Amino acid sequence: MTSERTIQERGSGPRHELLAQLSLAMIIAAIAASPARAQSDARPGTRSSASISCAPLASSRGPTFVWGNEAGTLRPRRLRLWADGSLDDTHARTRGRAEIADSVRALATEARRSAFWTTVSPPITHPTHNPDLAREYVAVALTCGHRRSLYPVDAEPLAFSALLRRLNAIARLAEAR
Amino acid sequence: MSRRSTGFALLAVVAGAAACSDNSATPTEPSTLAPSAALQETKWSNPNAHIMPIKSQAQDAHNTAGGGGGGTGIFYHGGPVLQSGTKVAAVYWAASPIFTGGPAAGTNGAGSGDGSLVGFFLSHLGGTPYFNINSTYTDGSGAKIVNSVTYTQYYANNTSVPASGASVSDAQMVAMLQAAFDAGKLTYDAGTLYNIFTAAKVNLGGGFGSSYCAYHTHGTVTINGVARTVLYSAMPYNNTYPGTCTNGTAAPNGDPGADAEVNTLAHEIEETTTDMMGTAWFDRRGYENADKCAWTWGTTYTTANGGVANMNIGGKDFLVQRNWVNAGSGGCAVKY
């Protein structure tokens, strides 16, 4: 048979066959472990090399998160959240609090690890199907880099809208007092 | 490759992959808000999401489009405009007048019979220095848009009125217009923008207050057995959401509902005039003329009643957003 001939041609007996099978098993195991690592990175609350070097921008250097809406007929809104927990909502600014600062740090880590960090906003060069739809944006500034994404309100990927919901939740907490 | 070197190569691959799979236990960082599992997903949430052209395709489109725009910041893409003058109709879809002085429920007639502030605005918008900004735009032949707005007809439709809190789809709006044409309550005209107004808290279009405050679009109706395009705007009651759909300043005419409404109404009329099908005038970000100046006012002044306004139209003060001037180097203005 062709397969037997091939083995015989390549190998030199049972020892070599065992080594070949062992190597193959190790490769498969290594490949299988890669998604596990990816999942681990995506899991909130765990620390990786990325989170160690990726901290929210120091408050003196600017806000960690900037988000809001622009375009269309909805009145524009812009919120800015600093690492110290202070929040600027278009006009009013609230002072920072420790628990809000903790939330900013946690959400920054999560944003860096999540699919948000790899989303690429499609360029909008023509009016959308509803030309007066607002567009929502989120910008994240960390010590290791920054990202800004913008989408029409009905075309946001889940990672984007999830981050937006979390930011709005933090904003409500910050403005609660 | 020798057997030995093959073995080393395999080991190197395995070792490298194993290093990448390192998943050492790590402490959990403090968080006062629960992490979101959805944050990890990449799936698109809306099946209607548009696929936008890549940059080079968009630039090609600009390069090949007829007309100009030059350095004004807005470009012509070859589609139709309302060049010879804009005609407008008002459809008040409510059980009773939406705005003070508006036509009685169930009536229809010429625009001159509309006594509301919205009706006044529609009747006096044409010919103003403000609407003249639209004359800086042209059709495909280079003919300038005429500074004319004619309020031709109204219909205070009190049939199948959407309830407070109800969401009204575009299909329902088009069906309502079709019924009005069929019943002779409205006269169909291809160059008329039918502005559909609803009472407070009606979610006209389904995203009112969260996605938009008003919008313009087009649909298809059947007139004498022939499918025709109808231009319409969804004009929900903006003062339902003062924080997101009004400027929040005192109403210049003491009519908060109508004073707020004319701002987005002007926006939709201007965009329909210069980009009725979404294929004529817009910029590289997909912004139509009024989009480029939305919620900007220029110089404002205080009116006799303590309101805030930025222009006078027909003897009344209004606070209406600026519009994009397609001349010189372009810019937002309240007159041209």
Domain ranges of chain B: 66-333
Which helix (H) or strand (E) is A107 found in, with range? helix A98-113
* A175 touches B: beta carbon within 8 Å: no
Residue A37's pLDDT is: 35
Interface test with chain A among B26, B39, B196, by most A beta carbons within 10 Å: B39
Provide the CATH number for the domain formed by A51-175 in this structure: 3.30.1560.10
Residue B166 has pLDDT above 80, yes or no: yes
pTM: 0.77
Rounded mean pLDDT, B138-155: 98
Q: What CA–CA distance (Å, rounded) separates A129 from B128? A: 30
Grade residue B284 by pLDDT with cuts at 50, 70 and 90. very high
B26 contacts A144 by C-beta, under 8 angstroms? no
* CA nearest to A98 within chain B: B32
- pLDDT tens digits along A16-58: 444 445 444 444 344 333 333 333 333 333 444 444 578 999 9
Min Cα–Cα distance to chain B from A168, Å:
12
* A47 touches B: beta carbon within 8 Å: yes
Cα distances from A26 to residues A20, A29, A31, A40, in angstroms, run 10, 5, 9, 21
Q: What share of chain A is helix, strand, coil (3-state, %, to 5)?
A: 45, 20, 35
Q: What CA–CA distance (Å, rounded) separates A68 from A76? A: 7
- pLDDT tens digits along B249-272: 999 999 999 999 999 999 999 999
Q: What one-character-per-residue DSSP string does B136-202 give? A: G-B-TT-PBPPS-EEEEEEEEE-SSPPPTT-EE-HHHHHHHHHHHHHTTSS---TTEEEEEEE-TT-
Contacts of B294 in chain A (CB under 8 A): 71-73, 76
Interface test with chain A among B8, B211, B240, B270, by most A beta carbons within 10 Å: B211
Ranking A120-124, A157-161, B187-191, B299-303 by mean pLDDT, the lowest is A120-124
Q: What CA–CA distance (Å, rounded) separates A161 from B305? A: 43
Most confident of A169-173, B37-41, B57-61: A169-173
Ranking B45-54, B135-144, B212-221 by mean pLDDT, the lowest is B45-54
Q: Interior CA angle at B250 toward B244 and B252, to 5°?
A: 115
Alpha helices in B197-335 (DSSP H): 242-245, 256-275
Q: Could you give the maximum distance between any two Cα atoms of chain A, in Å?
A: 80
* A99 touches B: beta carbon within 8 Å: yes
Contacts of A107 in chain B (CB under 8 A): 33
* B336 touches A: beta carbon within 8 Å: no
Q: What CA–CA distance (Å, rounded) separates A116 from A156? A: 11
Q: Which of residues 49-68 of B touch A (CB under 8 A)?
A: 49-55, 58, 61
Contacts of B209 in chain A (CB under 8 A): 74
Residue B271 structure tokens: 């965009």
Percent pLDDT > 90 in chain B is: 79
**Within a 10 A sphere around the Cβ of B15, how many other Cβ atoms?**
12
> CA nearest B269: which of B134, B128, B141?
B134
Phi/psi zone of residue A163: left (φ > 0), alpha (ψ -120 to 50 degrees), beta?
A: alpha
Q: A153 and B49 in contact by Cβ < 8 A? A: no
Cα distances from A77 to residues A117, A123, A140, B122, B157, in angstroms, run 23, 21, 17, 29, 35
Out of A44, A132, A155, the one facing B212 most closely (by C-beta) is: A132
- pLDDT tens digits along B12-25: 333 333 333 322 22
